[in-house]
Amino acid sequence: MAIEYTIPVDLPVAYYRPIGEVVNRCALMELYLRHIIWRCLEIDNKRGRILTVGMDANVLIGIAKNLANKWSGDAATAQEIHSIANDARDYFKQRNAIAHGFWGFPKGNKRRGFKFHEMFEAHQRELPNAVKKMPKDLQALATKIRKLNLRADALVEILDEKARRKGSA
Is 106 contained in some domain? no
Residues 6+ apart with CB under 8 A from 45: 35, 38
158 assigned to some structural domain? yes
**pLDDT tens digit string along 34-72?**
999 999 999 999 999 999 999 999 999 999 999 998 887
For residue 163, give the amino acid letter.
A
Does residue 119 lie within any of the structural domains? no
What pTM was computed for the model? 0.89
19 inside domain: no
In a domain, 16, yes or no: no
Let me know if residue 4 belongs to a domain.
Answer: no
Q: What is d(CA 163, CA 149) in angstroms, rounded to the nearest whole number?
A: 21
Q: What residue type is 86 in one-letter code?
A: N
Where does the chain have alpha helices with state H? Answer: 16-40, 45-52, 57-71, 75-100, 135-168
Residue 135 phi, psi dihedral angles, 5° rounding: -50, -35
Domain region containing 142: 30-85+135-168
- Looking at the structure of the chain, the number of domains it has is 1
